[in-house]
Amino acid sequence: MPYQDINVSLSDADLTEIKQAINTIQQKMPFLITLSQEERRRL
């Protein structure tokens, strides 16, 4: 199956909202930051 590039555009407001959501997740689940790559894959 050939690889196709993904063409996406997000507004500045969308990017800000996404970044805020990621920050919220990191604050609510700080233990995820210290997980190894293997531990993350198992989640």
Give the start-to-end residue ranges of the domains of the chain: 12-42
The pLDDT value given to residue 24: 95
Q: Tens digits of per-residue pLDDT, 1-43? A: 677 888 889 999 999 999 999 999 989 988 877 878 888 788 7
Question: What SS3 state is found at 24?
Answer: helix
Q: Please check whether residue 15 is in contact with residue 23, taking contact to mean a CB–CB distance below 8 angstroms.
A: no
Q: Model-level pTM?
A: 0.58
The pLDDT value given to residue 9: 92
The pLDDT value given to residue 26: 87
